[in-house]
Structure 1
């Protein structure tokens, strides 16, 4: 699952490729926002990304496109 995280006052977004389901990611985002803590996601290689919930601009949850090469019409 591909997750794009926009952080306030940061010119680039964070991109996390994770094995978690979209429902699990949505629950983690909702919980972080309601509690005012941090959003913590673990990527496919076991690395953790931690973002303060009050600095989140947006979170985009989408499917990963592994193996696509070339042009598509």
Structure 2
């Protein structure tokens, strides 16, 4: 699952690949925004942990990863 996180006052978004289901990521974001936790904490497929303060979240986009096409094909 690809997750893009926009952070207030940051020029770039955070993009990570997570093994979690979309519903699980959505639940974690909702809990952070509801004040149940001060941080949104997600772990990517490589084991790296991303922590974002809940009060700095601008948006979270949850979707399937895009596959890149490699090689030369007919246009």
Show CA shifts across 1:40-65 (max 9, x none). Answer: 00000111000000000000001012
Structure 2: distance between partners of 1:26 and 1:11: 23
Between the two proteins, the alignment pairs up a number of residues equal to: 71
Structure 2 gap ranges (5+)? none
CA RMSD, Structure 1 to Structure 2 (Å): 1.7
**Counterparts of residues 3-14 of structure 1 (less than 5 Å):** 3-14=3-14
Gaps of 5+ in 1: none
TM-score (normalizing by structure 1): 0.89
Alignment of 1:1-73 (within 5 A): 1-35=1-35, 37-66=38-67, 68-70=68-70
- Structure 1: which 4+ aligned runs deviate by more than 4 Å? none
* TM-score, length basis structure 2: 0.87
Larger radius of gyration: 2
1:7-27 CA-partner distances (Å, limit 9, x unpaired): 000000000110000000000
